[in-house]
């Protein structure tokens, strides 16, 4: 009788141990195993943005694009929670973020699918959160990235013109590659070898293919605008490049002679 009782206790404890192990595994692995950093995109980034927004660190648009706003929100979370501050979502940060926040994935995806702009409010139950329609800021939440993140030294005209250039030059490139094209324009702005306004840099003769073939006048999408904002806020994936070219189509011996830094997507960036 005693042996049977002991066996029952052991079995029950074992079941609880397995259940606890499953719960912990589910908690730690709410995200996929991907390491997320600036330039990342997809469902993991949507979850990251939603969790940061739920905690009150992020008030931008939940769009699945790891831009500069997401980067700084994550850094602020890491700093407040005593984690190594690097703006990268690695295993330790994931674990702490999951334990500190909630993620209502189905509702978030529904809002995105319906084209809604919305903001989670820190520690507010899902049923009480504002579900704002497109064009609304959800009762004070800042959701228009072009308003929130445009540095004061640039104008809306600068943003629009650069977005046109990025879209015309690099709309088929990965997001990091689009930021890189914008960064080249801003690097030229800081260089004494180029004109001192964004407009003059973009329309400098033979400077950009999109100007020569008229694609500069295509209507840019929000992704191009966000790429420009990230560059304006300091993200330079090119490491101070002043030029770039597509090695599959470039025929100029001069551009091939420039010291190369790196390749992002189809473009090689150089000094």
Which tens digits make up the pLDDT trace of 174-210?
999 999 999 999 999 999 999 999 999 999 999 999 9
Cα(first)–Cα(last) distance of the chain, in Å? 83
What is the structure's pLDDT at 67?
87
User: Whole-angstrom Cα distance, residue 120 to residue 138?
Assistant: 9
User: Whole-angstrom Cα distance, residue 224 to residue 32?
Assistant: 27
Up-side HSE of residue 76: CA atoms within 13 Å toward CB?
14
What is the structure's pLDDT at 122?
53
Query: Which structure tokens are listed for 107?
Result: 């509702």
What is the structure's pLDDT at 161?
97
Q: What pTM, to 2 d.p., does this model score?
A: 0.59
In our burial notation (b when 16+ CB lie closer than 10 A, e otherwise), range 17-28 reads eeeeeeeeeeee
3-state secondary structure of 172: coil
The answer to whether the beta carbons of residues 239 and 262 sit under 8 Å apart is yes
Closest residue by Cα to residue 87 from 96, 75, 105: 75
Residues sharing a CB contact under 8 Å with residue 41, sequence separation 6 or more, in sequence order: 64, 65, 66, 175
Residues sharing a CB contact under 8 Å with residue 254, sequence separation 6 or more, in sequence order: none
What is the structure's pLDDT at 1?
57
The class of domain 156-270 in CATH terms is mainly alpha
The class of domain 34-143 in CATH terms is mainly alpha
Q: Taking every pair of C-alpha atoms in the chain, what is the biggest distance, in angstroms?
A: 94
What is the structure's pLDDT at 118?
62
For the chain, which ranges sit under pLDDT 50?
6, 9-29, 121, 123, 125-126, 130-148
Closest residue by Cα to residue 228 from 267, 143, 171: 171
3-state secondary structure of 36: strand
Q: What are the distances in angstroms from CA 162 to CA 101, 185, 192, 211, 243?
A: 37, 8, 20, 12, 16
């Amino acid at each position: 009788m005693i042996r049977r009782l002991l066996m029952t206790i052991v079995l029950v404890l074992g079941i609880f141990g397995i259940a606890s192990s499953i719960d912990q595994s589910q908690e730690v692995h709410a995200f996929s195993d991907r390491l997320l950093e600036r330039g990342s995109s997809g469902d993991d980034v949507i979850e990251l943005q939603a969790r940061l927004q739920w905690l009150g660190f992020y008030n931008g648009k939940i769009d699945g694009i790891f831009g500069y706003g997401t980067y700084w929100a994550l850094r602020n979370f890491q700093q407040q929670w005593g984690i190594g501050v690097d703006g990268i979502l690695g295993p330790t940060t994931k674990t702490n973020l999951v334990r500190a926040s909630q993620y209502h994935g189905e509702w978030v995806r529904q809002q995105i699918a319906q084209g809604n702009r919305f903001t989670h409010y820190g520690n507010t139950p899902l049923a009480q959160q504002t579900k704002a329609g497109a064009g609304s800021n959800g009762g004070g939440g800042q959701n228009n990235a072009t308003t929130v993140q445009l540095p004061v030294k640039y104008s809306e005209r600068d943003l629009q013109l650069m977005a046109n250039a990025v879209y015309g030059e690099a709309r088929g490139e990965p997001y990091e590659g689009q930021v890189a094209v914008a960064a080249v324009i801003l690097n030229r702005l800081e260089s004494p070898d180029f004109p001192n306004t964004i407009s003059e840099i973009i329309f400098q003769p033979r400077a950009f293919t999109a100007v020569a073939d008229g694609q500069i006048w295509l209507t840019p999408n929000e992704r191009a605008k966000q790429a420009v904002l990230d560059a304006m806020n300091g993200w330079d994936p090119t490491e101070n490049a002043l030029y770039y070219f597509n090695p599959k189509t470039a025929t100029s011996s001069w551009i091939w002679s420039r010291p190369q830094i790196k390749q992002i997507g189809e473009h090689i960036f150089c000094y």
